Amino acid sequence: MALVRQLAGFFLTGLLFLLPLILTVVALAWVVGQLGAVFGPETFLGGLIAGLGRVVTLGAAGTATGFWFGLLVLLAGVTLLGILVQSGAKGLLERSVDGLFSRLPLVGKLYQPFAQLVRTMGGDSREEMAAMAVVSVRFGDGAEALALLASPEVFDLGNGRSRLILIPTAPVPVGGALLFVPEANVRVLPGLRFDDLAKFYISMGTVGHPSLFAGARPARSLP
């Protein structure tokens, strides 16, 4: 189980590193879809995965079998990428990927803002963490949600002091709902970073930081 959890951590790290590129591909696929370009009965990404599987099997696999071979190769590649990122090669990989995709006219304009957003939310600097802290938001008498503090500013829309929070969507924690919540209902969760929140949402709650469980250190109020 320890090995499975470690491999899952490597895979999620690799997936988070690839998130700007994944979002770029998704946005391009949406544009292509709006233009009416149809790639047959299978999805575009599914066809790429099946093609990868056929390359691995030297053309011996059919479309369905090739898809599963391609999926296994893709999962292994993302996990290997996670190992490289955690081993200290993150900066070199980021510069290489940024340099490659930023030169492409259309892809670069989509990739750059996605990359900046993801890296800001996962940053280590004190300023970035102050602006994108992981918080607990209380709704009503008992419901709570994990969210991100979208801005360090305090707002007042006419009903008193409020904070701007971003509640991500699951299982893809990029995007979601921006809400103004009374300041008293928002508490910072110490020790949690964006990647902890991302793993929690991507895994649909099955992978959680130890501080989220009963008996852990309580959240602290905002300054």
Please check whether residues 113 and 142 belong to one and the same domain. no
Query: What's the CA gap between 217 and 213, in Å, rounded?
Result: 9
Beta strand segments in 19-102, E? none
Please check whether residues 116 and 135 belong to one and the same domain. no
Please check whether residues 8 and 47 belong to one and the same domain. yes
Please check whether residues 104 and 130 belong to one and the same domain. no
Please check whether residues 182 and 207 belong to one and the same domain. yes
Please check whether residues 101 and 176 belong to one and the same domain. no
Question: What pLDDT is recorded for position 173?
Answer: 64
**Which residues touch 88 (CB under 8 Å, ≥6 apart)?**
none
Question: What pLDDT is recorded for position 71?
Answer: 74
Amino acid in the structure at residue 118: V
Please check whether residues 60 and 42 belong to one and the same domain. yes
Q: How many domains does the chain have?
A: 2
Please check whether residues 26 and 133 belong to one and the same domain. no
Query: What's the CA gap between 190 and 75, in Å, rounded?
Result: 32
Q: Is the peptide bond before 113 cis (omega within 30 degrees of 0)?
A: no
Q: What is the pLDDT of residues 11-28, one digit of tens each?
A: 888 888 888 788 777 777
Rounded mean pLDDT of the chain? 75
More confident residue, 145 or 151: 145
Please check whether residues 155 and 107 belong to one and the same domain. no
Check whether 127 has a pLDDT greater than 60. Answer: no
Query: What's the CA gap between 96 and 89, in Å, rounded?
Result: 11
Check whether 131 has a pLDDT greater than 60. Answer: no
Which of 83, 102, 121 marks a domain boundary?
Answer: 121
Q: What is the span of the domain harbouring residue 191?
A: 126-221
